Structure 1
Amino acid sequence: MTHADVSTLFTDKVRDYIVGRPGYPAILIGLLAEAVGASPGQQVADVGCGTGLLAQAFLQRGFRVTGIEPNDAMREAGARLLAALPSFDMRGGTAEQTGLADASVDGIAVGTAFHWFDPALTRAEFRRILRPGGWVALIGNERHVVADADAAFADLLARFRGDAHERMRMLEDCAPEAFLGAAARHFEVPHRLAVDREAFVALALSRSYMPRANSPRRAEAEAAIAATFEAHAVEGRYVLNYRATVFGTRVF
């Protein structure tokens, strides 16, 4: 996909993204601090910030965050949602051209967005904006198939995911160690998401490849989502297993 495609891909998915997508486990930032030396008060660039799910986790632990997001609608939503939190700034930009000044950030965090980046251009840009001794963390918040409900949701999404979306991969499939270097550290944090019907529908439709409103397969998608929820929800809640997987380094 071109940068133009990526910058508009989620424009009509913002509401679904906000309602359905899971946040990051609270313990993750503390573990990241141990792994790469991240500490409250540092200036962090959240590249591919989206609506601010990862930025919020850093802000709540006392970091200062600049979100970099190419999609106008996602960026505006993130700025609005996090307006009440201190030390947050949202800007337009890409991983390859953040628009930040040289040596202006102590750390760079990427939350479930690395698969969209050009690795070579992104590495050069990250090195340009990092201060000496700075750190980089690539983080994926990914579904973990360990129960029937997880498998059913995976099957639902696979039904609508085509070859055009082959880049929608798990973080481990995007060669994070090759990007970060031999000193990269890796850890995972399991967590769960329990959603009601509305949030489940939003979670499914928030995927970039799911049919848009008025598309030929939209009714099919809505029926499949409803059937999956009915088959596997317990007391009105659908439980999904997730794992936040982190690759981070101070030597970049």
Structure 2
Amino acid sequence: METSGNFSGKADVYAKYRPSYPKEYIDYLFSTNHLKDDRIVADIGSGTGIFSRQLLERGLHVIGVEPNDEMRKVAEQSLNQYSRFSSVKATAENTTLKGNSIDLITVAQAFHWFDKKAFKIECQRILKQKENVALVWNSRDLTSPVIKENEEICQKTCSNFKGFSGGIEETPEVFSDFFKEGKYEFKKYSSEMLFDYEGFLGRNLSASYAPKKDDEEYERFVYLLTELFEKYSKKGKIALENITRSYLGNV
């Protein structure tokens, strides 16, 4: 199934409003995978380079693999000061990378778009022996009242909405099928993110399912989100509970 166009026209808003990942998580990746500055990481579905940047800042060699032209161009422009970054136009299922060449595969906010079986075979091909795949999402805490109401707005106005992060959190068997012998290490990090009105709206509009300006439901979507912001914001800021979920293991 072709999904690379789902974020077309959204690269700039995605790069501007999507959050990065907790320092604790990056530290965990480095310690668990014994990462040093000579290691090569393939960041698959790298998008606008949000996660790639965090790895580059720690001195790693990072290959960003991204099929969407708009997203990839934003990453190439914003990361051009990093000599250890290279960008590849390719899919998760056919990365075009050399076999047995990668020390760690990372997938941030993208695994739910992939053909899981084909991606697993590709990981086995390009990874060095016994090295890991790390899947990670920044997710909304669905127990939070404001996020529950945010979800209801998406259900009302976004025809392609299937749940935040494609609803993958509700299907744990996907991870058991993907990782070798169903074994993986799960980590969770909780944090609170503060957004002003522009940031809150931008975060919602960056989603693949969100209507674009010329779509019929766009104005209603923005209106309902504005009402939600006014209901829950304090001193011009709204707090959203964030959960970073990580799945790490061999494939």
Shift of the 244–196 alpha-carbon distance from structure 1 to 2, 3 Å rule, reads same
Q: After superposition, where does 1:134-153 map in structure 2 within 5 Å?
A: 134-153=131-150
Deviation at 1:163, TM superposition (A): 5.7
- Residues 1:234 and 2:229 are matched in the alignment: no
User: How far has the Cα of 1:198 moved from its partner?
Assistant: 1.1
Indicate conservation of the 8 Å contact 1:8/1:71, yes or no. Answer: yes
1:179 aligns to 2:178 (yes or no): yes
In 1, Cα distance between the equivalents of 2:238 and 2:16?
A: 14
Aligned residue number for residue 166 of structure 2: 168
What CA distance in whole angstroms lies between the structure 1 residues aligned with 2:41 and 2:121?
A: 17
User: Residue deviations 1:215-238, cap 9 Å, x none?
Assistant: 111111111121111111111111
Indicate which of 87, 99, 104 corresponds to 1:107.
104
1:127-162 CA-partner distances (Å, limit 9, x unpaired): 111112321111111111343323232222232343
Q: Does 1:120 align with 2:117?
A: yes
The amino acid of 1:213's aligned partner reads: K
CA displacement 1:161-219 (0-9 Å, x = unmatched): 43674781234626113201233111111122211111111111111111111111111
State the one-letter code of the partner of 2:101: S
Moved more, 64-73 or 171-180: 171-180
Summarize deviations over 1:105-127 as a string: whole Å, max 9, x none. Answer: 11100001111111111111111
Give the 3-state SS of the residue equivalent to 1:126 in structure 2: helix
SS of the residue corresponding to residue 24 of structure 1 reads coil
The more displaced of 70-79 and 234-243 is: 234-243
Instruction: Give the distance between the partners of 2:29 and 2:147, measured in 1 at CA.
Output: 27
Structure 2 gaps of 5+ residues are: none
Q: What is aligned with 1:31?
A: 28
Task: Go from structure 1 to structure 2 and tell me whether the alpha carbon gap of 1:135 and 1:194 turns closer, same or farther (over 3 Å shift).
Answer: same
Instruction: For 2:191 and 2:102, locate their aligned partners in 1 and report how far apart those are by CA, in whole Å.
Output: 29
Q: CA RMSD in A?
A: 1.9
The secondary structure found in structure 1 opposite 2:86 is strand
Cα 1:61–1:177 change in 2 (3 A) is farther
SS in 1 for 2:223: helix
SS at 1:8 equivalent: coil
Please give the alpha-carbon distance, in whole angstroms, between the structure 2 residues aligned to 1:239 and 1:84: 33
Q: Which residue type is aligned with residue 219 of structure 1? A: E
What number of residue pairs does the alignment pair up? 248
Distance 1:32 1:172 in 2: 24
Match of 1:11 in 2: 8
Structure 2 match to 1:221: 221
Contact 1:142/1:170 (CA < 8 Å) preserved in 2?
no
1:247 to 2:247 alignment: yes
The reply to whether residue 20 of structure 1 matches residue 34 of structure 2 is: no
SS in 2 for 1:41: coil
Distance (whole Å) between structure 2 residues aligned to residue 59 and residue 84 of structure 1: 10
Distance 1:165 1:150 in 2: 15
Deviates more, 1:78-87 or 1:122-131: 78-87
Q: TM-score, normalised by structure 2?
A: 0.91
Q: Deviations over 1:26-73 (max 9, x none)?
A: 111111233344444310000000111111121122211100111000
Where do 5+ consecutive residues of structure 1 fail to align?
none
- Contact 2:158/2:211 (8 A) holds in 1: no
State the SS of the aligned residue for 2:76: helix
Partners of 1:7 and 1:70 within 8 A in 2? yes
TM-score, normalising length: structure 1 = 0.91
Task: Assess if the C-alpha contact under 8 Å between 1:38 and 1:135 holds in 2.
Answer: no
In structure 2, how many angstroms separate the alpha carbons of the residues matched to 1:162 and 1:139? 26
Answer yes or no: is the 8 Å Cα contact 1:48–1:110 preserved in 2: yes
Identical-residue share of aligned pairs (%): 27
